[in-house]
Structure 1
Amino acid sequence: MKAYYASTALLIGTMTLASAQTPGPDSLTRSLDDTLQLNEVIVRGYATNRRLLETPASIGLLGRRDLNQRFGIPTLVPALNTLPGVRADERSPGSYRLAIRGSAIRSPFGVRNVKTYWNEIPLTDAGGNTPLNALDVRALGRLEVIKGPSGSLYGAGTGGTLLFSGLSVPSGKTSVELSGLAGSYGLYGNGVSVQTGRENSALSVSYNHLQSDGYRDHSALVRDNFSLTSSFAVSPKRTISVLGLYSDLHYETPGGLNENQYRANPRASRPATATLPGSAQQQAGIYQKFGLLGVAQEYRWTDRIQNTTVLYGSTTDFANPFITNYEKRADLGLGGRTITQFRLPDGPIPTTFTVGGEFLRNFTVDRNFGNRQGVPDTIQTDEELTARQLTLFAQAEMKLPAQFRLTAGLSRNNVSYGFTRFPVQATNAIPAQLLTRTFDPVWLPRVALLRTFCQRLSAFVSISTGYSAPSSQEVRPSAGGFNTTLDPERGASYEVGLRGSTRDGRLRVDLALYQLGLRQTIVRRSNAAGAEFFVNAGRTDQRGLEGQFSYDLFQPGLAATTHSFVTLGRLWTSLTLTDYSFRDYQQGNADLSNNRIPGVAPVTVVAGFDFESRPGLYAHLTYQYLNPFPLNDAGTVQSDPTRLLQATLGYRRIWAQRWTADLYVSGDNLLNQVYSLGYDINAVGNRYYNASPARNALAGLRLGLKW
């Protein structure tokens, strides 16, 4: 992709929208959970609490419809993949991997290099890992995705930031919803949620269960999830909130296949070799129990000064029988975050100041054993790891003349690790020794300038810096040992964006062009047994163009005030173009400079159609296309193109303003393609392939009562 074409696209978009911006009344306000409504929806990103149109950053939004209605399967993966610049993988049910602008090149599994919060409480631990698979989408009401480095307010990370919100609770109402679903490959799920709101309090509780036999051999999943959110107005100035989350998850890991095995039988699990047993024989899988409890206080000293402070504790009980060993890990985390805002609206330059800090600490006990067909035997290693992160930040947002808005932020980041390995044998044992790795503190600035041209068009430019220290799973990888030589990633991102809609609000456009240059990029390697380790790969250049477009077949708001049969008819598409390549990258005797970075598709297109009617009939159609991309650093192996068609058809009926019934059916991979939703990058033995389910379907029912 050439910058010339990207710049041309931005210019054409600007001219098209500007020509449509004649003075006139705004269209009627629409639902705030509408993903593409630019003029009304309020975003929390960078603590602005402003309309998306007035926010100088690339932010993707997923509302209730996107998370819980468009796709029948209750996982985050398909909804996340509708956003440009975001790619979620699921190598087998429950095994998530998330990339925001290519940030997953260092993640063989799990979610790293991304910061995540739920109602301001950090979900990402001090070691840089996020238990995204502990969340159940049915307990979520909204998600904001900040794309690109956001360290000026959210600390270390070069990928992006996720901001989750729970289900909304209407004041003065109580509602109960029961749900159930069943589908192909033994899929079954049920759930119950209760929300109640009073004048000074709100409570939301949900329990959800999901299980599946899996498409592949040895790929079953069972997950139980409980979540609680509540808030209490203790006084006119003080509000206390509580968040509780518990997840009990087990999924089997079938392992990667080489191309011949994948073509012959994509449903097979990794077979045994002459030297190693297979995944099923070793009962490879993940057992994860995760709990989190957090308390937040919002205190408003005056109309212009307020503070939000959160404290939390978390615990993880983790076990991973693998091909070559059996890992058992126990983790305790604690931390807090405080933000104070000062609003000065009456000065010559109206300004909002935001200052605060975040502290995270995790203590991990990690032991490896031999794996005897799913049973741990002789202990191999006994280790402890302590991770700490401290971030201090400040930001100023200024409203300038001529409809300009300037945002400037700065943070200071400290990351450190302490590692101890204890002897596991009685003779010739090496005494325990504490090893430490403290990374030099770094300052991360961000500057962004936004200009609104009218009520429906804005453009912004931003410069932000990124810093990502190695995660705890990278300094202490499954290959063993404590890596004291791995350096943090550093980089700078340059971005220009355009948002707008036509006068009638039917056509909406969101475009972003960026360039991210990383130094000391962290990439994954694996040894002959398949255990991973990590190295710095020199410099990478990451350029991209992201576009999100939608067109309503009917004028927004008009159908809601008439007796029209159709209340929503929308065509939409998300486009991602990338040009990611290595610079100054030497691997042994091979010079891999200028090679494409593996795992990132040069072209991704997601398109869809959403339909809703006044009688309650609704339908969603989604098509995804990814063109081939390299699967290893050398670029010698390419992925297959991905062509995925998904559809949901449902009927929702409301009786007496109290009772609600929602019956739906959903189909996935309707073209019956053999494809992989998650490849293993740089896999030893060329085991790159993890087959995703063939054509499959499910049906579900939601019953609700409100009073």
Structure 2
Amino acid sequence: MKKRLLLPLFCLHACIQSVSAQTSTPSLEDTLQLNEVVVRGYATNRRLLETPASIGLLSRRDLNQRFGTPTLVPALNTLPGVRADERSPGSYRLSIRGSAIRSPFGVRNIKTYWNELPLTDAGGNTPLNALDVRALGRIEVIKGPSGSLYGAGTGGTVLFSGLGVPAGQTSVEVSALGGSYGLYGNGISVQTGKNNSAISLNYNHLQSDGYRDQSAVVRDNLSLVGSFNVSPKRTISVLALYSDLHYQTPGGLNEAQFRANPRASRFATATLPSSAAQQAGIYQKVGYLGFSHEYRWNDRIQNTTVIYGSTTDFANPFITNYEKRTDQGIGGRTVTQIRFPNGPVPTVVTVGAEYLRNFTVDRNFGNRGGIADTIQTDEELIARQSTVFLQSETELPARFRLTAGLSRNDIRYGFTRFSTRAAGGAPAIPLTRNFTPVWLPRVALLRTFGQNVSAFVSISTGYSAPSTQEVRPSAGGFNTTLNAERGTSYEVGLRGSALRNRLRFDVAAYQFRLTETIVRRSDAAGAEFFVNAGRTDQRGLEAQLSYDFLSPAYYTSPTAFFSLVRIWNSLTLTEYRFRDYKQGTADLSNNKVPGVAPTTNVTGIDAETKAGIYAHVTYQFLSPFYLNDANTVLADPTQLLQATLGFRHSLGKNWTIDIYASGDNLLDRTYSLGYDLNAVGNRYYNAAPARNGVGGVRLRVKW
């Protein structure tokens, strides 16, 4: 292990590591240096160098070229402080600066947006698996509480963007891929850009038999993104998404089963059937339609207002029951920016509000071999979430910039259980859970040093009410005693570039103190429920370093062979512990929070030639971490090697072909890409695929 830590320790000693390895992309961002890359986080629209926050960037290269299998998981895992799991194909779980103890499945405690359109619903849930990575062009990840501008959530915020559409050009790209374990996919992308409009239409299909028994997946995604400049001052945009997803859920294995046959699905017990016998899985259809209106009164004042509607049709045959859920969501967000550039201290003021509402009908039935049986519960849930916010960004003398923000957050749930035969004809039971509105402040101070280095400090607060899937877990019922999480984060960061911008670094250290931490429990059947677990103390260090072996002058030379040769490293060090936490008579205070690796180290090499050959190699190491609150079970260390080799070439003026082959888990390790934490029966393990490969082709024509 000492050898494995040499590179991270060297990076720490070399001190300031980091960066824009996230911005390695074949698009414009690849040609930009750190002091030129612009980010949208905290509505600054400033250079990353001038943004007083920890923000990770993923470009189109990171999302769609570095790894062969079209999934968000490997790209997100290259960012320090970010961890994405996939317990079975299609079952995503995402955490930012925290553990996945709140998420047996799905994405919680994180806000997500497509431009200004909210993707996270009023109940705090994000259908991340409804997005296809092949339709994405960029992701920004704001790490840590960002409630001063984005509302409830203690983990962070993710900002998605679609593929860029060049002006004055129309293009069509078709793609196909195939790989191990019955993997197959295809897609088509149509883009057209005019002087006053840009439209992108994408359809993508993916299917796989899966590595494990009972782990097949079929997914179809359709997206339409359009932007129209209807006048010099007015822009209207539209986002339409539709996802049809079915994936089987093999269930967790205990250690003996995992070692003996990692490809097995969950076995039957004396009292419960197996996953395969019950046809356990998820059927999910998601539709989303949003409109955005941007109006620029003048060069000092502009407003962006969005509205959206969403619908979800969800079914989950489980070991013990069959859940059917329908959900309708509506919401909107308005943001106004006012600039005061000519005063003694130039200031930008951002003011706005957000309102989200969801109506959910949730029914549980018996499960007879994958067929819904007698109804057991019939429930309705209404979730409302409102936020108002104000932020000022002021340029001070001596190259200082002060950002101060404040928001008010209000979350309310209404629940009704209706009578069923199983309930013995009991009357309907209406319940409410209204959380006390909270004010969330954030203050950050940044100073630049010359053109290439900056440092910042920040204090931010976060608030995360239980999601609808936590107050109303899959087993049914409504938890009126579960409290919201509340925390304060203290952070210091340093980023910049040296050696004529060939070396780029980004380092952040933080301490996050969280109270009323929500953790997952499960009953004997494996159904989850949630409790508050006192306090947690979360300390971390995140660092990224990237180095270009060749100078910018070389890349611009007409005789250059390479267009990119880069090595990069992402390091995450954490120390997360419970405080004031008891389970019955057992005092678990000072135990480590499960699901968080003390050391995560990801190293990559990227090379591209002007002839069109490109190669990416990524090595990931996670040190062992605990799988339960009692700290009695430890995961194996993870060593994952991935590589992609491709050739992209122009065929005349209008055609481009891209052929690639990619390998995953090239060291052929038996490992779990997602653990079931605190699992009953010690069924913690969900085996990821053994050594596997994928090959694909993309053909593009433009005119």
* Structure 2 match to 1:410: 406
Question: Does residue 468 of structure 2 align to residue 472 of structure 1?
Answer: yes
* Structure 2 match to 1:253: 249
2 CA distance for matches of 1:119 and 1:547? 27
**Counterpart AA for 1:205:** L
* Structure 2 match to 1:242: 238
Alignment of 1:184-263 (within 5 A): 184-263=180-259
2 CA distance for matches of 1:601 and 1:391? 34
Please point out which of 615, 621, 637 is paired with 1:619.
615
Aligned to 2:15, what secondary structure does the other structure show? Answer: helix
**1:35 shift after superposition:** 10
Percent identity for Structure 1 against Structure 2: 75
**Counterpart AA for 1:76:** L
Aligned to 1:612, what secondary structure does the other structure show? Answer: strand
Question: Does residue 133 of structure 2 align to residue 131 of structure 1?
Answer: no
Please point out which of 395, 398, 411 is paired with 2:394.
398
2 CA distance for matches of 1:278 and 1:500? 54
1:339 touches 1:355 (CA, 8 Å); kept in 2? yes
* Structure 1 match to 2:21: none
**1:657 shift after superposition:** 2.9
* Structure 1 match to 2:152: 156
**Counterpart AA for 2:233:** K
* Structure 2 match to 1:341: 337
Alignment of 1:80-479 (within 5 A): 80-425=76-421, 428-479=424-475
1 CA distance for matches of 2:456 and 2:282? 44
Aligned to 1:106, what secondary structure does the other structure show? Answer: coil
2:345 touches 2:394 (CA, 8 Å); kept in 1? yes
1 CA distance for matches of 2:32 and 2:208? 33
**1:102 shift after superposition:** 1.1
**1:36 shift after superposition:** 9.0
2 CA distance for matches of 1:309 and 1:11? 47
Please point out which of 536, 548, 551 is paired with 1:552.
548
Aligned to 2:224, what secondary structure does the other structure show? Answer: strand
2:291 touches 2:306 (CA, 8 Å); kept in 1? yes
Seen in structure 2, the aligned counterparts of structure 1 residues 436 and 616 have a Cα distance that, compared at 3 Å, is same
* Structure 2 match to 1:533: 529
**1:7 shift after superposition:** 13
Please give the per-residue CA displacement for 1:508-553, whole angstroms capped at 9, x wherever unaligned.
Answer: 1100000000000000001111101100000000000000001101
* Structure 2 match to 1:482: 478
Please give the per-residue CA displacement for 1:75-99, whole angstroms capped at 9, x wherever unaligned.
Answer: 0000000000000000000000001
**1:33 shift after superposition:** 3.1
Could you tell me the TM-score, scaled by structure 1's length? 0.96
Please point out which of 695, 698, 701 is paired with 1:699.
695
* Structure 2 match to 1:491: 487
1:32 touches 1:40 (CA, 8 Å); kept in 2? no
**1:504 shift after superposition:** 1.1
Seen in structure 2, the aligned counterparts of structure 1 residues 11 and 617 have a Cα distance that, compared at 3 Å, is closer
**Counterpart AA for 1:123:** L
1:30 touches 1:556 (CA, 8 Å); kept in 2? no
2:376 touches 2:423 (CA, 8 Å); kept in 1? no
* Structure 2 match to 1:63: 59
**Counterpart AA for 2:205:** H
1 CA distance for matches of 2:569 and 2:379? 48
Aligned to 2:470, what secondary structure does the other structure show? Answer: helix
1:462 touches 1:494 (CA, 8 Å); kept in 2? yes
**Unaligned 5+ runs, structure 1:** 1-5, 18-28
* Structure 2 match to 1:25: none
Q: CA RMSD in A?
A: 1.7
**1:428 shift after superposition:** 4.2
Seen in structure 2, the aligned counterparts of structure 1 residues 35 and 279 have a Cα distance that, compared at 3 Å, is farther
1:143 touches 1:162 (CA, 8 Å); kept in 2? yes
Aligned to 1:133, what secondary structure does the other structure show? Answer: helix
**Counterpart AA for 2:212:** R
Please give the per-residue CA displacement for 1:21-62, whole angstroms capped at 9, x wherever unaligned.
Answer: xxxxxxxx9954349942111100000000101000000000
1 CA distance for matches of 2:474 and 2:96? 24
Seen in structure 2, the aligned counterparts of structure 1 residues 11 and 675 have a Cα distance that, compared at 3 Å, is closer
1 CA distance for matches of 2:578 and 2:118? 32
**Counterpart AA for 1:560:** T
1 CA distance for matches of 2:500 and 2:416? 63
Question: Does residue 596 of structure 2 align to residue 594 of structure 1?
Answer: no
**1:104 shift after superposition:** 2.1
* Structure 1 match to 2:4: none
Question: Does residue 648 of structure 2 align to residue 657 of structure 1?
Answer: no
**1:168 shift after superposition:** 0.3
* Structure 2 match to 1:72: 68
**Counterpart AA for 1:278:** S
1:35 touches 1:62 (CA, 8 Å); kept in 2? no
Aligned to 2:552, what secondary structure does the other structure show? Answer: coil
2 CA distance for matches of 1:435 and 1:193? 47
* Structure 2 match to 1:26: none
1 CA distance for matches of 2:502 and 2:388? 42
2 CA distance for matches of 1:103 and 1:388? 26
1:338 touches 1:356 (CA, 8 Å); kept in 2? yes
**1:427 shift after superposition:** 8.2
2 CA distance for matches of 1:689 and 1:562? 53
2 CA distance for matches of 1:633 and 1:236? 58
2 CA distance for matches of 1:324 and 1:426? 15
1:475 touches 1:486 (CA, 8 Å); kept in 2? yes
1 CA distance for matches of 2:47 and 2:361? 45
Alignment of 1:642-653 (within 5 A): 642-653=638-649
* Structure 2 match to 1:3: none
* Structure 2 match to 1:13: 15
1 CA distance for matches of 2:10 and 2:601? 19
2 CA distance for matches of 1:619 and 1:508? 21
**Unaligned 5+ runs, structure 2:** 1-7, 19-24
* Structure 2 match to 1:542: 538
Aligned to 2:211, what secondary structure does the other structure show? Answer: coil
2 CA distance for matches of 1:580 and 1:72? 33
1 CA distance for matches of 2:202 and 2:77? 25
1 CA distance for matches of 2:510 and 2:31? 22
Aligned to 1:690, what secondary structure does the other structure show? Answer: coil
Aligned to 1:33, what secondary structure does the other structure show? Answer: helix
Question: Does residue 633 of structure 2 align to residue 637 of structure 1?
Answer: yes
2 CA distance for matches of 1:7 and 1:412? 42
**1:647 shift after superposition:** 0.2
Please give the per-residue CA displacement for 1:154-181, whole angstroms capped at 9, x wherever unaligned.
Answer: 0000000000000000110111100000
**Counterpart AA for 1:385:** L
Aligned to 1:53, what secondary structure does the other structure show? Answer: helix
**Counterpart AA for 2:292:** A
2 CA distance for matches of 1:214 and 1:550? 35
Please give the per-residue CA displacement for 1:212-257, whole angstroms capped at 9, x wherever unaligned.
Answer: 0000001000000000000111111111000000000000000000
1 CA distance for matches of 2:52 and 2:10? 21
